[in-house]
Structure 1
């Protein structure tokens, strides 16, 4: 049974948009309970806005992102928005996991990433195996005369993904409302649905979409 319960209000535009319960139990365990329809998102502690509510130490968490840990402040976001906001972190986690996988010989003699979930009982366990740490493109350049052409689809898509993640991170730090609209729009939600989810006037959303496009053109323009 919880021996202490804190209720923390989160504000947006001066209005309460969510109330989170922080329960502390006798064994020291802390449980964070968001309202229905919300998930707790790990906002970077340096960009988390705690000025609109009392700072709650229990909401500080260490969060793994790739191979590093970050100090975060847990904030409630809509469940649909949570999935979109977490996608870059999940992608980095997968890249980090793949980078530590061994390179083994495939059916046709070409190196592939080991598909085993664990090294236990693996015939290569204990051997000095090459890992997938070296990137695919660098590996090709090292072992052949291949050079990435400007029209190469793989490298172009990879760079586009990196730039997209950087844009979202930039918006999340400097224009949080625009970040939410951009993520939901990219998930396929209509202006009407975004209006209902974020409680924003439709005209504001249309106006913000133009601002986003302008920022995108600046962000992705070539030198």
Structure 2
């Protein structure tokens, strides 16, 4: 499951769109037509591990909330604090001169801005969760290599035989050339690419051996960018 939050210039507070990539494992004919420098990256060696998975709506909501707490809430707190300070200044002016209506208006505007900042944050999450609910039954495949990982959608025979079926290439994320952060908690591995795209891997569908391998490899690659979030 991919949640793309890169719309509107990467401003996550204003984003109201998400994008899902569906995958086509057979890209041989397309690659043959490309110039050498445009050929797609091919993983090195055999896969270290791979597994199929799905994501429940409540898991997506948990992951997006954790993302907002890490990257959005901090900004919101700063904005709220600044507007609160200004509002207090206008409140002091109102106390000295209650007849100055401009101070009343400006103080009210500051309070509205604080409310709007947080309202938009929660409105975006509500919008995304509603949009994602229809994809709860979709199946995906995660494959880990020594130098990258690949995420693709697993299509049913019925979907592939449909007249309007349009396969999309899998998403390959190279460890060497991308801004990558991972947050692990008790239930999830949350993969964040460039603070724009979120992938959610649920531990309920990953066996203990694969969890350990995934954790060890990604910690080795990411160092401090791999975070374990306690309860």
Tell me, yes or no, whether TM beats 0.5. Answer: no
> Under a length normalisation based on structure 1, what TM-score does the superposition of the two structures give?
0.30
Structure with the higher helix share, 1 or 2: 2
Higher-RCO chain (CA-CA 8 Å, sequence separation at least 6): 2
Q: Which has the higher strand share?
A: 1
Question: TM (normalized to structure 2)?
Answer: 0.29
